Amino acid sequence: MKRALLAAVVPCLVVLAGCSSAPVQYYTLTAPAQSPSIGGTVQTAPTAAAREPLYVEVLPVGLPEMLDRAQMVVRQGDAGVTVLDRQRWASPLSDELRAALSTQLAAQLGAADAAGLPRQAGVPVWRVKVEVRRIDAWPGRQLQLDTDWSANLTSDPARRLICSSRVTLESPADYPGLAATHQTAVRHLAQQIANAIQNRTC
């Protein structure tokens, strides 16, 4: 009887030990500095932007409460969602978005990222505020990022843009690929914002 009980318990303990030791995977939305540009084209800021000092400041990014967490949230079918405890962002998603957008916009506008830096008096600052309306991630299907955003030049209050953006991309089924698709979506969004700032229109 004792041997039979032991034989039943040991496999259960092995399974539990295996589950408890499964590693947590962490991802970031900030792409490598030398990552390829979207579509194989190089985005460059206007010559004037490169010559004149300019700052860009991305304000805290607004997110639906369900999404503003470290765990990755994915769709299941058309009505279900799953919070993935073992697939996580390196920091809460709003912080990841702000850092990635700041990096991308500074590079594309030829500007300095104003976050945490002392500012030279008289240097214009483009202040960007992003509200994420939805991030729908279907592994193996697609990723959709919907945002409303505004950008204003602090030295000229009349220069204010109020715009909306939608980015839709095909997504692989694996989680590292899905995280990379999030990165690409953020690059697309930053590119749209940078183009609007450069052209002064949405």
Q: State yes or no: pLDDT of 90 exceeds 60.
A: yes
Q: Which fold has domain 25-199?
A: Rossmann fold (3.40.50)
Q: How far apart, in whole angstroms, are the C-alpha atoms of residue 90 and residue 94?
A: 11
Q: How far apart, in whole angstroms, are the C-alpha atoms of residue 74 and residue 76?
A: 7
Answer with the residue of higher pLDDT: 58 or 118.
58
49 Cβ neighbours under 8 A, 6+ residues apart: 109, 110, 111, 198
By three-state DSSP, how is residue 189 classified? helix
Domains of the chain by residue range: 25-199
Q: How far apart, in whole angstroms, are the C-alpha atoms of residue 138 and residue 85?
A: 17
Report long-range pairs for 40-43 (Cβ below 8 Å, ≥24 apart).
Answer: 43/108, 43/191, 43/194
Amino acid 45: pLDDT: 47
Q: Average pLDDT of the chain?
A: 84
The pLDDT tens digits for 63-82 are 999 999 999 999 998 889 99
Q: How many residues does the chain have?
A: 202
Amino acid 3: pLDDT: 52
Closest to 133 measured CA to CA, from 105, 164, 100: 164
Average pLDDT over residues 28-38: 69
Q: State yes or no: pLDDT of 36 exceeds 50.
A: no
Percent of the residues in the chain that have a pLDDT greater than 90, as a whole number: 65
